Amino acid sequence: MDSLYIILILIAGIVFFIAFFLQSKWIIKIKYQFPEMRDAQISVYLYKWCVIRQKNLRISNQAEMEKGFIHFYKLLREKKLHVLKEIRLQALLKELQVLEFKWQTKGGTGNAFTTSITSGTMWAVKGWLVGYLSQHLQLCGKPQINVQPDFQSARLETAFSCMISFRLGKTILGIMRVLKIKEVRK
């Protein structure tokens, strides 16, 4: 009879641990600065406990990034990425909360005319990105974006910091919804 109680307690403990783990709140912090850092720093937290502290991810060099973009553009142009229309990422993205979003850029081309055009383009891209994020994610704070033109010199500096929070169980369910295979219509 005692062994039955021990087994029931172990099963209840395992169920409680799984329920706790699936309801756990995870936070991911991403930080990148150019040209000071060549790596992106990522920290992962479970509630307030740090699980992974500042893991440095190597950013690809320019040639590898251009090669990847060219390959992606080629597939897009050949209409081989039509599968992306079928995937509903909104179900997954709605589960993510953006706690902090900061992106500051400072730079110029050395010419006042082209610097002003470049700065305006950067504002447009950042504004579009913030609009997309606010439409598809839960923004908990006001995004902080800034573009500071430098009309005197040709340089580029950028600092990016983002903090994302999610519940593991809801994210797993969102991934399962995204990966759900539709029946083929006849």
Could you give the CA distance from residue 33 to residue 41 in angstroms, rounded to a whole number? Answer: 9
Contacts of 104 (CB under 8 A, 6+ apart): 144, 145, 146, 148, 158, 159
Q: ∠57-59-65 over CA atoms, to 5°? A: 145
Say how far apart CA 71 and CA 27 lie, in whole Å: 32
**What SS3 class is residue 180?**
coil
- Residues with Cβ within 8 Å of 39's Cβ and at least 6 positions away in sequence, in order, are 56, 57, 58, 59
Residue 13: pLDDT above 50? yes
Query: Which pLDDT does position 148 carry in this prediction?
Result: 93
Residue 19: band (very low, low, confident or very high) from pLDDT cuts 50, 70, 90: confident
- Token duo for residue 66: 């251009």
User: Residue 170 contacts by C-beta under 8 Å, 6 or more apart in sequence?
Assistant: 95
> Residue 54: left (phi > 0), alpha (psi -120 to 50), or beta?
left
For residue 102, name the pLDDT band (cuts at 50, 70, 90).
very high
Residue 77 is predicted with a pLDDT of 65
Alpha-carbon distances, residue 129 vs 15, 57, 118 (angstroms): 41, 23, 17
In contact, 166 and 47? CB cutoff 8 Å: no
pLDDT digits (tens, 9 = 90+) for 131-142: 888 888 888 889
Kindly list the distances between the CA atom of residue 32 and the CA atoms of 98, 109, 114, 128, 183, in Å, as whole numbers in the listed order.
Answer: 17, 22, 26, 20, 42
Rounded to whole angstroms, the Cα distance separating 70 from 80 reads 14
Count CB-CB contacts under 10 A for residue 122. Answer: 20
Asked if the model's pLDDT at residue 156 lies above 90, the reply is no
> What pLDDT score was predicted for residue 183?
39
